[in-house]
Structure 1
Amino acid sequence: THIWMTFLGPEPHPWARNGSANHQEMLLRMYWDGNPRPAVEAPVGDFFANSFGKRSEVISLPVIVEDADSYNCFWHMPFRKSARIEVVNESEKPISLLYYNIDWIKKDRIPKDTPYFYAQYRQEYPLEKGKDYVLLETQGKGHYVGTVLSVRTRSPSWFGEGDEKIYIDGEDKASIWGTGTEDYFLSAWGLKTTSTPYFGVPYFDQWGIVGGHTSAYRWHINDPLVFNKGIKVTFEHWGWISPDENAQYKSHSWNEREDDFSSVAFWYQAGEPTFKARAPHGRERALPNLDRIISAREYTADQYHGPSGAVAQNLDLYPSGHLFYKPQQQENAWIEIPFEVEKKEPKRLLLVMTHSYDYGQYQASLNGVKLGGVIDLYGHETSTREHHLLDFWPDPGKYTLRLECVGKNASSSGYYLGLESVRLRERRPRVLNWAHDKDKDWRTNPILYE
């Protein structure tokens, strides 16, 4: 009737100085009545609507993650003879300080037709072209009670024009056919971070970027999807994409996207399901790296910045810290990060930067070409954010990314700067195939697709 657990997060801690496994690397399995196939198989985080290894607060009816570190679920999980619950560590780091409590009620008997509880994780990195994404497909009798869906975008713009299509009892055409991804999750005109009893978006980092992360849940508690012979739950993966990914070199809303999807389907079913999906190993659940990373902390020497010191500072926000530049005034405050390109191919240039209460405002440029507007690094709390600058086909050669201080926010107490890395992010193969912008000069017309 109730499971509670907690453990240390992945960041270094006085009780785990080298860090710990994150909850995406911890696999939760539950077995009923001696069945060798787990009825529940999902990463701990995803089962509790916490995706990407990120800790987020969830306040809903069946799942509560209070303060992003106490994991509770209240799904009823009936069994007849035995139950086994295990957490498998698939990380190279240990699980640190795992505590748990499991509540159950012993009864003399339960009705013969009492269904079992099931939850199954699956993923596609990236989505398969020409096919809807399948969350669940099983034969038998039962009712569907919940969805957790996680999306890492690989194209600019809005990913969520795809409809849910749910097929009941073997029908050829879905009798439940929605109007868009955010509509299925009971929001409208997009998604934003929220948590309610029946639906929510625990994690949403940035709108419309290449590499944005969104996770959402919906619980069908008062509106279960009942099936007598079987059910198939799918999502289309349609949305907006940038002109350079479109054959007609246009931006519109009806394009098949190639993002990274993962999901957990929750349902009750009498007997055993026929769904064949299994959770891959923790190494394979980690999202594939899309970036060439130029670490900024390697460039603290005087030749790479203006007056005042620059140091490599360890910060829990980043595995390897960041470059921390500490100018005392705006005048002549700058940093430069050099890098080389060996092959001409489409890339997105972006910066991973720190925001804090005493940070300044900076203008970015590449080889002397101004990129975008002023980057305001002020933040009430210390946090990290990606700043996307340019979509381009860089010629082989040497490049210098420069950040020059142009002032500070009225609320900021300083002009500091924190830069974790300069990154060249992979674009989808169709950008390379269409090559709309290959021969355009980014220096005369810098473009950032949004």
Structure 2
Amino acid sequence: MNPFQGGLASLPLIKTGRSRAINAENPHGEKGKGGMASGPLGPSRKGSPCIRDVAPGTTVTLAEISGPGIIEHIWITVTDHTEADTFVLRDLVLRMYWDGETEPSVESPLGDFFCNGFGRGCTVNSQPMVVNPTRGFNCYFPMPFRSQARIEIENQHEASIPAFFYQIDYCLHDELPDDTAYFHAQWKRQRITDKAEDYILLDNVKGRGQYVGTYMALTTLERYWWGEGEVKMYIDGDREYPTICGTGTEDYFGGAWSFATQRDGKTIENTYCTPYMGYPYYSSHDEAVHNLYHNDDVPPMRGFYRWHILDPIRFQEDLKVTIQQIGVYKKGLFERQDDVATVAYWYQTEPHQPFTPLMGKEERWPR
């Protein structure tokens, strides 16, 4: 029996592979070539900590790596506003490509990928995604590749981004197991959902794999409680009815009883972060808008995450994921129309089906 099994207990075991990192100090992750840039303090003294002045319309390659290997950690930080506008986190688009793909396997506004929707930062404390003050974006989803990995950021903001900080930590291997699948993530939005029609979080997935997570940025457009909609998983040929159907939106994200408590006659909205599910963001005001235009009232905005890490949704042929927009009030349940944006995270065999075109930046902006 091996006494070093699982979690921290496995750390004493010698691991195979060759550790590397890419950042602005070592943009190609070369062995023995980190920190070579010169700065005001001289050679190898913080000479190139970031990418400077990412111009509007520019796509920057953050990493291009020859495999086999596994990306193990990504850290990024950037401003959330410029003098031109306040929605940098929705205007920057993150894309990832595996093994020479021409279609991205990951495509999302930068903030939403890290569970920071609405163009606003918030703290997230979960196992695969961690966002520390202030906008310290971290992702720990393993991202394997056999021949090549390419990560890009596109600036669709109308002004230059003065400084973009990042580090991509990865490990090179001699080979990967035959059953290794590839990481995928896709952002979607429906600015006004159709009444009595489920919002489609993910569709057109063909192949074998497992669904591992959901981020949802919900802007409620109607009054009363909004969270009765069920999450449905259509697996391997399901058509009219799904194999897995949940019991409600707050239930899916691990909460209960409207996430609320009563205190001194007032309803308190309880946000939370846990390793696998959370409600890290709630706001009905936008201070950035207030500072610019002296009007900070916005529809209530809520951000949620749910990681299927201990309970992945496995599929052998195809997968579709939807969520209903159903509320409840004094007279009972009712069909709602709200503004829903989501990121779906999953692993699958390649090739994957091309994503639907990403919305233009103005259509991505929060209300």
Instruction: Judge same fold: TM > 0.5, yes or no.
Output: yes
Distance in 2 between the 1:210 and 1:19 partners?
Answer: 17
> Which of the residues 24, 42, 52 maps onto 2:90?
24
| Pairing 1:225–2:304 present | no
* Structure 1 vs Structure 2 CA RMSD: 2.0
| Pairing 1:125–2:196 present | no
> Which of the residues 267, 287, 293 maps onto 2:346?
267
The answer for the alignment partner of 1:278 in structure 2 is 357
TM superposition outliers: structure 1 runs of 4+ over 3 Å: 18-21
Q: Is the 8 A contact 2:82 2:159 kept in 1?
A: no
The answer for the alignment partner of 2:145 in structure 1 is 79
Distance in 2 between the 1:11 and 1:253 partners?
Answer: 45
Q: Is the 8 A contact 2:131 2:138 kept in 1?
A: yes
Distance in 1 between the 2:298 and 2:159 partners?
Answer: 29
- Give the superposition deviation at 1:92: 1.1
Distance in 2 between the 1:231 and 1:19 partners?
Answer: 38
Distance in 2 between the 1:217 and 1:56 partners?
Answer: 13
Q: Is the 8 A contact 2:236 2:315 kept in 1?
A: yes
| Pairing 1:213–2:281 present | no
Q: 1:33–1:272: structure 2 CA closer, same or farther, 3 Å change rule?
A: same
CA displacement, residues 390-449 of structure 1 (integer Å, 9 cap, x when unaligned): xxxxxxxxxxxxxxxxxxxxxxxxxxxxxxxxxxxxxxxxxxxxxxxxxxxxxxxxxxxx
The answer for the alignment partner of 2:177 in structure 1 is 111
SS at match of 1:46: helix
SS at match of 2:348: strand
1:19-418 matches, within 5 Å, as 22-137=88-203, 138-172=205-239, 173-191=241-259, 192-206=270-284, 211-240=299-328, 251-274=330-353, 276-288=355-367
Q: Is the 8 A contact 2:87 2:365 kept in 1?
A: no
Q: Is the 8 A contact 1:20 1:93 kept in 2?
A: no
Q: 1:162–1:195: structure 2 CA closer, same or farther, 3 Å change rule?
A: same
CA displacement, residues 7-61 of structure 1 (integer Å, 9 cap, x when unaligned): 122166xxxxx66752111110001111110000001100000010011000111
Q: Which amino acid aligns with 1:34?
A: G
Q: Which amino acid aligns with 2:276?
A: Y
In the alignment, structure 1 segments of 5+ residues that lack a partner are: 13-17, 242-250, 289-450
Q: Is the 8 A contact 1:21 1:93 kept in 2?
A: no
Q: 1:127–1:19: structure 2 CA closer, same or farther, 3 Å change rule?
A: closer
- Give the superposition deviation at 1:201: 1.1
Q: Is the 8 A contact 1:6 1:69 kept in 2?
A: yes
CA displacement, residues 263-310 of structure 1 (integer Å, 9 cap, x when unaligned): 00000001123364332122210135xxxxxxxxxxxxxxxxxxxxxx
SS at match of 2:196: coil
Distance in 1 between the 2:134 and 2:227 partners?
Answer: 26
Q: Which amino acid aligns with 1:274?
A: Q
Q: Which amino acid aligns with 1:149?
A: M
Q: Which amino acid aligns with 1:202?
A: P
Distance in 1 between the 2:149 and 2:142 partners?
Answer: 13
Distance in 2 between the 1:204 and 1:43 partners?
Answer: 19
- Give the superposition deviation at 1:67: 1.1
Q: 1:89–1:111: structure 2 CA closer, same or farther, 3 Å change rule?
A: same
Distance in 2 between the 1:276 and 1:125 partners?
Answer: 18
| Pairing 1:6–2:77 present | yes
SS at match of 2:122: coil
Q: 1:10–1:252: structure 2 CA closer, same or farther, 3 Å change rule?
A: farther
Q: Which amino acid aligns with 1:194?
A: Y
Q: Which amino acid aligns with 2:140?
A: F
Structure with bigger RCO (C-alpha 8 Å, 6+ apart): 2
Distance in 2 between the 1:198 and 1:88 partners?
Answer: 29
> Is the strand fraction higher in 1 or 2?
2
SS at match of 1:205: strand
Distance in 2 between the 1:20 and 1:254 partners?
Answer: 37
Distance in 2 between the 1:275 and 1:135 partners?
Answer: 15
CA displacement, residues 51-80 of structure 1 (integer Å, 9 cap, x when unaligned): 100110001110111114111101100111
Q: Which amino acid aligns with 1:3?
A: I
Q: Find the structure with the greater CA-based Rg.
A: 1
- Give the superposition deviation at 1:225: 0.5
Q: Is the 8 A contact 2:207 2:318 kept in 1?
A: yes
